[in-house]
Amino acid sequence: MTMIGVLGGMGPLATVDFMEKVIGLTRAESDQQHLPMMVANLPQIPDRSRSILGGDEAPLPYLLKGIDLLNRNEVGLIAIPCNSSHHWYAQMSARSAAPVLHIAETCVAAVPAGVSRAAVLATRGALASGFYQRALATRDIEPVVPDDATQHAVDICIRDVKAGRLAEGSAALADVLATLADGGVQAAIMGCTEIPVAARQAGATAFPLIDSTLELARATVAYATARGWNTFR
């Protein structure tokens, strides 16, 4: 039996959201047709955004421990439902025997054709790291980084979801989406896995919202079902 490895806990509700999306995307009538997963939910990993902004590497040893833990359990693939941690993608990927999906690559691939400008909703750390901007550049899409007032509402949304305050997080996200609609964006990437948790109660938007958790789940399910990991007997 080969398991999907999930390096999670960043935050815990985002990990649950990711698992729920993997389960929902799997064609299954019974338990046995679902995909096996080994989920290391490790919320003690230090704040990724803060370290990127501060220029320190505090999360890296914890992330590598998580990668080692999953590899010791012989997982066949690793998914990390936390965007900011992908600042250290190269180090994690180099350390891992199992291939590691890149959340931003799965997400940028899902931006609809014809979109030339896309907003990136993410932590300040992920934006400073720049991996979304670089991934969008490979498709010639111009990244739109929110202005400071809008980013402040994004920060509140993320913080509220991490604290379990989903209604407050959704309200903050609604403000962000209204501002983006007024600014005429063509698409927005929810490039922090707390944001889709808040978006469950969001109304319809005039522009497509790309959900990084969902795109990572899609890539994960495609990889694992192509290899028959749910048909083990």
Binding interface with a second copy (CB under 8 A): 1, 9-13, 15-16, 19-20, 23-24, 28-47, 69, 73, 162-164, 230, 232-233
> CB of 175: closest distance to a second copy in angstroms?
21
The answer to whether 119 touches 186, Cβ cutoff 8 Å, is no
Phi, psi of 229 (to 5 degrees): -70, -10
> CB of 117: closest distance to a second copy in angstroms?
32
* Residue with Cβ nearer a second copy (46 or 130): 46
How far apart, in whole angstroms, are the C-alpha atoms of residue 47 and residue 69?
20
Tokens representing 35?
A: 């995909």
Q: What is the 8-class DSSP label of residue 116?
A: -
> CB of 162: closest distance to a second copy in angstroms?
6
The answer to whether 22 touches 33, Cβ cutoff 8 Å, is no
* Residue with Cβ nearer a second copy (8 or 143): 8
Neighbouring residues of 30: CB distance < 8 A, sequence distance ≥ 6: none
* Residue with Cβ nearer a second copy (102 or 162): 162
Residue carrying structure tokens 């083990």: 232
Tokens representing 221?
A: 């399910």
How far apart, in whole angstroms, are the C-alpha atoms of residue 78 and residue 59?
18
* Residue with Cβ nearer a second copy (88 or 144): 88
> CB of 180: closest distance to a second copy in angstroms?
26
Tokens representing 6?
A: 């999930």
Q: How many CB atoms lie within 10 A of CB 24?
A: 11
Amino acid at 79: A
* Residue with Cβ nearer a second copy (69 or 109): 69
* Residue with Cβ nearer a second copy (33 or 116): 33
> CB of 55: closest distance to a second copy in angstroms?
20
> CB of 195: closest distance to a second copy in angstroms?
15
